[in-house]
Structure 1
Amino acid sequence: MTVLTRPAAAPAADTGSRSWWVWPALLAAGAGLARLPFLGMPLAPDEGGYLVVADQWHPGTSTYGDYFVDRPPLLIGLFRLADLLGGAVPLRLIGIVAVVASVLLAGRLGGRWAAAVAAILLTTPLFGTTTVDGELLAVPFVLAGAVLLVRSNRPAAAAGAGVCAACAVLIKQNMLDVLVLAAVLLAELALRGRRREALERLAAFALGVGVTVGLALGVASARGTSPGELWDALVTFRAQAASVIDAYANDATTHRFHELLLATAVSGAPLVVAGALVAARRPRRGPDLRWAGIAMVAWELTGAALGGSYWLHYLVALVPGVVVLVAATVPENRYDGLPPGPRSQLLRWAVGVSALTAAVAWAFLCLHVPGPGSDQEVSAYVRAHARAGDTMVVAFGHPNIVHDAGLPSPYPHLWSLSVRVRDPRLADLASVLDGPRAPRWVVVDGGSLATWGVEEATGQRALDQHYREVTSSGDWHVFERI
């Protein structure tokens, strides 16, 4: 007698694995499209400043050519690519590529819900995502490293994760997330008695990091930026800056800190973290991402706090850790949704709340897309009245004015924080204003050089002696050399 038997069902753990990319692809496309309305926004100060630095990166008198900036070389390299492609719009398109790649990688790591969280948090204006900064460009490298560490146990994958870890740090020095994730996962592997495998993967990971860092340092040195100068900018300066901010920061810094806390709460990200922690379970096999995600979020919060200035784009650094925590709720190789049961309900509601607040903030910003402001007005004035060979100085900060005016600056400090740390008595500025390379144009915030953390007397004397005010817009005053 022939016995008919029902074909064996595929294991539950493989559910949806073949089509894992469908929902992440749709979410990635949506996230990319959501950024299109902001392509034509005026350049933010960091965007303009990095483009200025990248355009003239060559052996010069400061860290990057003739300018100082406390950022790693791969970030400047990416802005150089944007500059070669045309500047502002190509830069924003590179930002879209970073967002799309991040959402797809989040989907590969933790399925549709992880992809949804990445798409929401990388497009919400509450996280300052309308501009392209180091955090945004580093996120896809962090998530790529996480995918390689979590989804493969081969040494080659660990080496690739090391490459991604190094790239993230070479874009933004506090983006150590992949290193944190690797430390937790390899420690867990060793505690489970698989010490040999842990050591092999650690060696491969370290090799990937070392080769990538060595290559980056070599390229930077060839362009005139030595390892010692990078250490000074990325480590020594940041320590000095933290001390200056702590000693002199004013009410504006406190206000930005409160804004950062409010944006974090309204974004729903804390709810998503709480929901993920409730829904997460220890897997029967594979790495346990709960502690890894907690460690990553803890580091990301620490990095945001150590930044000191509390800009909204600091929050973008939280995205990888939150994504890993959401991935911890998904059973191994399951991509079609969260496990059933009440433990997942809070996470579903949290993601919904986060999506709603992101949509409201995005719609509001679409109705009020920032247009040209006082920054653009003073840069347009200088550009219209400049002659061949002119230079300019902006006192202080807003290097986007230098970029938009199209003139070089003989003063190496384009950002106000580096002035407060490296030239607080304005001796270097006074030397520039008094010397043979004096700029024709000086743009001053507030009409005088007085600002927190600066003794302005020496610089103000040189400005008053050699310059006269010719126009103003908002808080910016334009001075021309007499």
Structure 2
Amino acid sequence: MTSVLAHPVRPPDPTGLVPRRGAVALVAAVAALLWLPNLARPLSSDEGGFLLVASQWSPGTSLYGDYWVDRPPLLIAVFRLADLGGGLLALRVIGLLAVMVSVLLAGRIGSVAAPGVRRAPVLVAATAAVFVTTPLFGASEVDGELLAVPFVLASVLCTLEALQRPGWRWWAGAGATAMAAVLVKQSMADGFVLAGVAVLWLATHRRARDAVDAIAYVGLGAVACLGVALAWAAAHGTGPIGLWHAVVTFRAEAASVISAKSSPATSHRALALATSFLASGAIVVLLAAFLPRGHRPVTGPDLRVLATAVLGWEVIGIAFGGSYWLHYLLGLVPGLVLAASAVAAYRPARRRLLVAGLAYAAVAGIVSTAGLAVHDSTVPSDVSVSRYLAAHKAPGDTGVVGFGNPAILEAAGLDSPYPQLWSLPVRVLDPRLADFTRVIAGPHAPTWAVVNGTSLATWGVDASRAQPVFDREYRLVDVAGDYRVYHLR
């Protein structure tokens, strides 16, 4: 197979085809410094919940041990590693490594996508560095999107390499890393989308044999990765049928519930998400790549077509995520990396616009990071609740949060006898609080209960039967902001 990736024809660069590798490494180091303040931030709801789930993952009464969560097993395995390493700090170090690896992979993507363009690796690496660290993309916490980005970028790199070099290893690598990304965050199937577009190009340009080989080897890599993950999960008591419901069918059920019953807060978050995207400066990268003008390659798949396909999938993933949390925007990073690669390869007149956009985005990210530091200087009410519980708990005590923010329990060192740690699974799987009522009225009722608000009522939940039981079994002992802390009578 010969190279089919489109590149513009240009004379050799007398200063060298590829910049020093140290330049990309320096960009990765700067990205690490930009992300470093997050090491000291308090646990987010997702971070605390995933650590709590991972800490006890073994055969139990629910999907992951005694807890249920709509996430794939490789994500929980990463949090298990963090838990074994000590918890919060180890998790943040893993996040820091994810940032640095993403930047280094992006630099290599720039080198492969735009050979002969000396500054391409640095420009593309800088694109990843800016958007994988900015709080405007929710990059201040270690969530599924941040951990999946390196796997997606690895798959992108393997596909681009496969289009230039013969050999099955690149296609198999593309499939394995694309599957790994999905096993961290199920919506991040960008690697499969990119490989599919590349295969389609091969098939429509009289390279049917190459297309068949690519499909076979991508499939082989993906199946091998999936098989290992499912075997690992099964050994810990998490079966494939339960996983399918959690990561696929549950999401459809959740989308229906959100669409029918969500509070105005959901639409407000959607608006905030769009505003944050515009404020981040990411739109400049897209304008530089897709505004008319510049070289148009005549052979090989156009990087702009590849970027469009990947970005299209990423936008769909954000839209169907339903809850519109800020960290959804991290799913756009691989598409932005491809768009920046297209600028470096085809749009020399637009590179200054790209640099200007990245400079603005970096400043916006730094300002946002400073704003978070100011916000963190005041103790949040959920942190106050965690400290109260940690100070007053006795050995063997358990707790429950009604509903959501399991970081409170993780920080306080309390397990929960109720398997639902997040509010969305409660709204979908236990909307009448039948299971919750059985738990609080049963022999293993949680010692502590934390309620966000004055009652158990919230959108999508019918608390009419649970509330009288709760009032009978628990007494109020503390108030912190909107949170009320109760103790079993």
User: Is 2:306 the partner of 1:292?
Assistant: yes
Tell me the SS of whatever aligns to 1:328.
helix
Which of residues 126, 135, 144 in structure 1 aligns to 2:154? 144
Contact 1:280 1:329 in 2 (8 A): no
Q: What CA deviation, in whole Å up to 9, does each residue of 1:238-281 have, x standing for no partner?
A: 11110110111111111111110100001111121111123774
Counterparts of 1:250-399 in structure 2 under 5 Å? Answer: 250-278=263-291, 281-283=295-297, 287-331=301-345, 340-341=348-349, 343-369=350-376, 372-399=379-406
Q: CA deviation at 1:191?
A: 1.7
Contact 1:468 1:479 in 2 (8 A): yes
Contact 1:392 1:408 in 2 (8 A): yes
Q: CA deviation at 1:403?
A: 0.3
Counterparts of 1:47-62 in structure 2 under 5 Å? Answer: 47-62=47-62
Aligned to 2:261: 248
Which of residues 410, 417, 421 in structure 1 aligns to 2:417? 410
User: Is 2:90 the partner of 1:83?
Assistant: no
Q: CA deviation at 1:69?
A: 0.3
1:477, 1:340 → 2: CA distance?
Answer: 59
1:15, 1:426 → 2: CA distance?
Answer: 68
Superposition TM-score, scaled by structure 1 size: 0.93
Counterparts of 1:105-124 in structure 2 under 5 Å? Answer: 105-110=105-110, 111-124=121-134
Which of residues 202, 216, 219 in structure 2 aligns to 1:206? 219
Q: CA deviation at 1:308?
A: 0.6
1:169, 1:428 → 2: CA distance?
Answer: 31
Q: CA deviation at 1:450?
A: 0.8
Q: CA deviation at 1:351?
A: 2.4
Which of residues 421, 429, 447 in structure 2 aligns to 1:422? 429
User: Is 2:148 the partner of 1:134?
Assistant: no
**Cα pair distance change 1:360/1:378, threshold 3 Å:** closer
Tell me the SS of whatever aligns to 1:393.
strand
Q: CA deviation at 1:13?
A: 6.9
**Cα pair distance change 1:452/1:367, threshold 3 Å:** closer
1:17, 1:139 → 2: CA distance?
Answer: 28
Which of residues 465, 469, 479 in structure 1 aligns to 2:476? 469
Aligned to 1:67: 67
Amino acid at match of 1:407: L
**Cα pair distance change 1:124/1:399, threshold 3 Å:** same
1:237, 1:479 → 2: CA distance?
Answer: 31
Aligned to 2:235: 222
1:411, 1:339 → 2: CA distance?
Answer: 56
Q: CA deviation at 1:348?
A: 3.1
1:285, 1:363 → 2: CA distance?
Answer: 46
Tell me the SS of whatever aligns to 2:379.
coil
Amino acid at match of 1:122: V
Amino acid at match of 2:65: G
Contact 1:168 1:176 in 2 (8 A): yes
Contact 2:289 2:347 in 1 (8 A): no
Amino acid at match of 1:130: S
Tell me the SS of whatever aligns to 2:449.
strand
Superposition RMSD on alpha carbons, in Å? 1.8
2:14, 2:80 → 1: CA distance?
Answer: 43
Aligned to 1:4: none
Q: CA deviation at 1:447?
A: 2.5
**Cα pair distance change 1:155/1:294, threshold 3 Å:** same
Aligned to 2:249: 236
Tell me the SS of whatever aligns to 1:457.
coil
Q: What CA deviation, in whole Å up to 9, does each residue of 1:288-321 have, x standing for no partner?
A: 2111100111110110110111110000000001
Contact 2:71 2:246 in 1 (8 A): yes
Tell me the SS of whatever aligns to 1:330.
helix
Counterparts of 1:11-26 in structure 2 under 5 Å? Answer: 12=12, 16-19=16-19, 21-26=21-26
Q: Greater CA deviation, 385-394 or 70-79?
A: 385-394
Amino acid at match of 2:26: L
2:67, 2:251 → 1: CA distance?
Answer: 16
**Cα pair distance change 1:14/1:248, threshold 3 Å:** farther
Amino acid at match of 2:71: R
Contact 1:68 1:412 in 2 (8 A): yes
Q: CA deviation at 1:390?
A: 1.2
Q: What CA deviation, in whole Å up to 9, does each residue of 1:161-181 have, x standing for no partner?
A: 111001000000000000010
Aligned to 2:5: none
2:389, 2:101 → 1: CA distance?
Answer: 39
2:347, 2:20 → 1: CA distance?
Answer: 15
Q: CA deviation at 1:407?
A: 1.2
1:194, 1:460 → 2: CA distance?
Answer: 65
Superposition TM-score, scaled by structure 2 size: 0.92
**% of aligned pairs identical?**
51
Q: What CA deviation, in whole Å up to 9, does each residue of 1:370-414 have, x standing for no partner?
A: 553211211221222211211111100000011011111000000
Q: What CA deviation, in whole Å up to 9, does each residue of 1:62-101 have, x standing for no partner?
A: 1101111000000000000000001101111100100000
List alignment gaps of at least 5 residues for structure 2.
1-9, 111-120
Contact 1:281 1:328 in 2 (8 A): no
Q: CA deviation at 1:46?
A: 0.1
**Cα pair distance change 1:379/1:348, threshold 3 Å:** closer
1:309, 1:157 → 2: CA distance?
Answer: 36
Contact 1:150 1:287 in 2 (8 A): no
Q: What CA deviation, in whole Å up to 9, does each residue of 1:12-69 have, x standing for no partner?
A: 2796444353322111100101111221111000000000000001111111011110
Amino acid at match of 1:459: A
Aligned to 2:196: 183
**Cα pair distance change 1:382/1:283, threshold 3 Å:** same
Amino acid at match of 2:33: L
1:27, 1:445 → 2: CA distance?
Answer: 42
List alignment gaps of at least 5 residues for structure 1.
1-9, 332-337
Q: Greater CA deviation, 168-177 or 399-408?
A: 399-408
1:410, 1:207 → 2: CA distance?
Answer: 41
Contact 2:188 2:331 in 1 (8 A): yes
Q: Greater CA deviation, 158-167 or 276-285?
A: 276-285
Q: CA deviation at 1:328?
A: 1.8
